Every structure is written in C-alpha cells, then in structure tokens.
Amino acid sequence: MKIPSLTVIGDPSANLAGFWDPVTSLVDWCEENYIKNYFIGEFWNTLSNLGYLFLFLYALFYSKIRDVHTKIFTVSILFLSIGSALFHATLSYGCQMIDESQMIVIVLNMLFEA
C-alpha cells in the first residue's frame, strides 16, 4: 500500500531526477527537487541547516553547560542539523524519521525543563 505524499506549494512537474531517487519521504516541501544540484534534493532547505550547526557550536563553545537538560538540548541541536540536512538532501523516509525524531527530543526536553 502506497502512502500518499504531500507537496507543499512548489511545482512537482519541475522536479528533476537526482542521485537519491526515488523520493520516499512523505512530505515534499516547497522547493523543487534537484534543481540546483544533482546530489542535493532541496538545496536551500539543506543549506539552511547550517543555522542549527552554528547554534550548536555557539552553545558548545560559549555557554557553560552544567545541567543535563542543556546538554541533551545541545546535542539534539547537532543531530537535528545533521538529520535535517540529510533529509532535505536525500528526500528519503529514513532520513525524514531522523529529522522528526530530533525535533521530538528537543520539544520533550523543553517540556521537562519547564
């Protein structure tokens, strides 16, 4: 049974074939696939994950991490950066689950910290 996917804005007819085809993720975001690069499905979404990486590096080097919640949050930001970049580069279901699981860990950590 094929699970229907969701295309958010974008033009599916403009999608190109890429290195990681076929697309197996359940959501295809607003950026057309493989337009900028043969190896990166959604180029700008992938590149935007550098922001999470910079946040992780800032937290790692400039903050005094003492409690366990802050440590979990900081490491989760790193995994979110990597997982989300992998998801948007490959558009695969497995990488989508890595991306979403880190978001859940971050939210749960914030709820338990509150």
User: Is 44 annotated among the ligand-binding residues?
Assistant: no
User: Is 29 annotated among the ligand-binding residues?
Assistant: yes
CA–CA distance, 19 with 109 (Å, rounded to integer): 36
- Are 21 and 41 within 8 A, CB to CB? no
Alpha helices in 1-114, H assignment, sequence order: 43-47, 50-62, 68-90, 93-113
User: Is 28 annotated among the ligand-binding residues?
Assistant: yes
List the one residue out of 49, 26, 41 whose CA is nearest residue 88. Answer: 41
Separation of CA 4 from chain center: 20
User: Is 69 annotated among the ligand-binding residues?
Assistant: no
Maximum alpha-carbon separation in the chain: 50
Tell me the binding residues. Answer: 28-29, 31, 33, 42, 88
Tell me the binding residues for Zn(2+). Answer: 88
Tell me the binding residues for Ca(2+). Answer: 28-29, 31, 33, 42
